[in-house]
């Protein structure tokens, strides 16, 4: 009798779970699923070596911190995931002094320009006449040869805006007379 009671209870539990599972199926209660990207094309981030241009502003002191702002431009064909710059300073004897790190949180798209701020602690041994070393990396690799530039090229759009399309004609001065 005891076995029959346990068997009947177990059978009722299985039937109840099956009925509940069928009544809460997502196909019967929700709208059809649609893709999140909606046909947009996604380019995966670059893996391995990337290429970047950079412009470095002079380092400024802010209390007990040295602040270096560096603008970076992605010159690769794919996005760069979390580009990072590490700075190493030097003393008068050429020994390394640890600096700081700065990064772009997220992706740096092709031809996009972002500013990375690197904060380093002030050390009395730092040689002011010697430039620091920048090391460029990213989440999926490195940047073996970052290219330092003085400013970023905007494709000539700024030059076209500065100069008028046609120059007005002006009267010229007569050439000086020859003596003789």
Look at residue 140 and tell me if it is in a domain. yes
The total number of structural domains in the chain stands at: 1
Contacts of 113 (CB under 8 A, 6+ apart): 71, 72, 73, 152
CATH of the domain at 83: 2.60.40.3230
Look at residue 22 and tell me if it is in a domain. no
**CA 137, CA 48: separation in Å to the nearest integer?**
10
Look at residue 43 and tell me if it is in a domain. no
Q: Where are the beta strands (DSSP E) in 93-155?
A: 96-103, 107-108, 113-121, 133-138, 141-142, 147-148
Look at residue 115 and tell me if it is in a domain. yes
**CA 111, CA 152: separation in Å to the nearest integer?**
10
In three-state secondary structure terms, 12 is helix
What is the enclosing helix (H) or strand (E) of 139? Answer: none
Look at residue 24 and tell me if it is in a domain. no
Tokens found for residue 127: 């040689």
Provide φ and ψ at 37, rounded to 5°.
-80, -20
In three-state secondary structure terms, 101 is strand
Q: Which domain holds residue 144?
A: 52-152
Tell me what pLDDT residue 177 has: 63
Tokens found for residue 129: 């006449």
* Tens digits of pLDDT across the chain (180 residues): 656 665 666 665 555 555 555 555 555 566 777 777 677 778 899 999 999 999 999 999 899 999 999 999 999 999 999 999 999 999 888 899 989 999 999 999 999 999 999 999 988 888 878 889 999 999 999 999 999 999 887 654 444 444 444 444 445 555 566 665
Look at residue 72 and tell me if it is in a domain. yes
The model's pTM is 0.63
Tell me what pLDDT residue 73 has: 96
Look at residue 23 and tell me if it is in a domain. no
Look at residue 118 and tell me if it is in a domain. yes
């Amino acid at each position: 009798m005891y076995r029959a009671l346990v068997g009947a209870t177990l059978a009722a539990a299985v039937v109840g779970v099956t009925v509940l599972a069928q009544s809460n199926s997502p196909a019967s209660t929700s709208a059809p699923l649609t893709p999140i990207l909606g046909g947009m094309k996604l380019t995966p981030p670059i893996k391995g070596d990337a290429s970047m241009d950079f412009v470095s502003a002079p380092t400024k002191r802010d209390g007990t911190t040295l602040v270096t702002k560096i603008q970076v431009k992605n010159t690769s064909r794919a996005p760069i995931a979390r580009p990072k710059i590490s700075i190493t300073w030097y003393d008068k004897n050429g020994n390394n002094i640890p600096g700081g790190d700065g990064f772009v949180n997220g992706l740096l798209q092709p031809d996009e320009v972002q500013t990375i701020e690197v904060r380093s602690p002030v050390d009395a041994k730092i040689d002011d006449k010697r430039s620091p070393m920048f090391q460029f990396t990213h989440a999926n690799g490195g940047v073996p040869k970052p290219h330092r530039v003085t400013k970023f090229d905007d494709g000539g759009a700024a030059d076209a805006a500065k100069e008028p399309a046609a120059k007005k004609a002006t009267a010229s001065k007569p050439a000086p007379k020859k003596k003789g």
